Structure 1
C-alpha cells in the first residue's frame, strides 16, 4: 500500500502522533485551541514537530515528577492497561530502543528520548510516517 492509499491515523491528522489527551491544565507549545467539534479527546498541534516535542516533555516530566525511569514504568503511565495492550507496547518500545523493559533510561538524553518517542509514535499510529529529521527538529524545540 502506498502513502496515498494508507488510511491516515487520527494522531497524524491532529499532528499529535503520541495521541496525548487534551487537558486544559497543559499549555503545550504549538497546541491548537481545543475544539470538541473537530477532536473531543486529544490535543491538536500546528505541526507534527510540536506534537513530538510534547511527547519528549511528557516523558521528561514522568521521570522528574514521578521517578519513572524504565520503559515499563513510563509506558504503564503513558498507555495504561485499562485501554491498551500495555505489555505488548512495553516490549515493542524496549526492543526498538535496545534496552530491557526494566533497564534504567534517561529521557533527557537526546538519543534515548528520540528513540523512545519514535517507538511511541510507531505504536500509537501503527506506522511511522516521520523522518529522523522530524524527530531531530522536534528535539530542537525543547
Structure 2
C-alpha cells in the first residue's frame, strides 16, 4: 500500500488549515490535505517554503525545525536526513533563486515523510506550477 502522503497526493503531509491551495480537493483524511495530483501537492509545499523564506526560514535547519517541530518529531534526525539526501549543508543560506536546491530539499523531505524516494518528475512539475521560487542558471 502507498504511504499516506502519496495516497493523498500530499507528499510532504501538509496538515489541514485555513489556507487553500491550487489543486486542493476534499479528501477523507481528517489530519492532512488532499490534492488532485501529486504535482499540486508538491506545488503547495514550494509555496509554503517560499512563505517560510519570506519570514527568515532560509536554511534546512530553520525550515525543518518549523515544518517538523521537536514537540511532534525527531527534528534533528529529520534535518540530518534532509541534509544527507539533498546534499545541501543544513546551514547554507537559501534565496528565492535557489530553486534547484529547493527541489532537492523537497525530494529529501518527501523521502522522510513517506519512507521512499520521491518521483523527481512530479517535483519538477510541482515546481513549474508555482512562481515564488526560481532557478537561476
Report if TM-score (shorter chain) is over 0.5: yes
Paired residue for 1:51?
Answer: 41
Q: Determine the C-alpha separation between the residues in 2 that align with 1:95 and 1:107.
A: 22
SS of 1:40's partner is coil
1:123 aligns with 2:112: yes
Gaps of 5+ in 1: 1-6
Q: What do the CA deviations read for 1:73-95 (whole angstroms, capped 9, x no partner)?
A: 00000011111111011011112
1:3 match: none
- Give yes or no for contact 1:32–1:45 (8 Å, CA) kept in 2: yes
Q: 1:29 aligns with which of 22, 25, 31?
A: 22
Q: Is structure 2 residue 65 aligned with structure 1 residue 71?
A: no
RMSD: 1.3
Quote the residue 1:18 is aligned against. Answer: 12
Give ranges in structure 2 of 5+ residues lacking alignment: 131-137
Structure 1 segment 32-111 matched on structure 2, within 5 A:
32-33=25-26, 35=27, 38-64=28-54, 66-106=55-95, 108-111=97-100
Larger CA Rg, structure 1 vs 2: 1
Contact 1:59 1:107 in 2 (8 A): no
Residues matched between the structures, number: 130
Structure 1 runs of 4+ with >6 Å offset? none
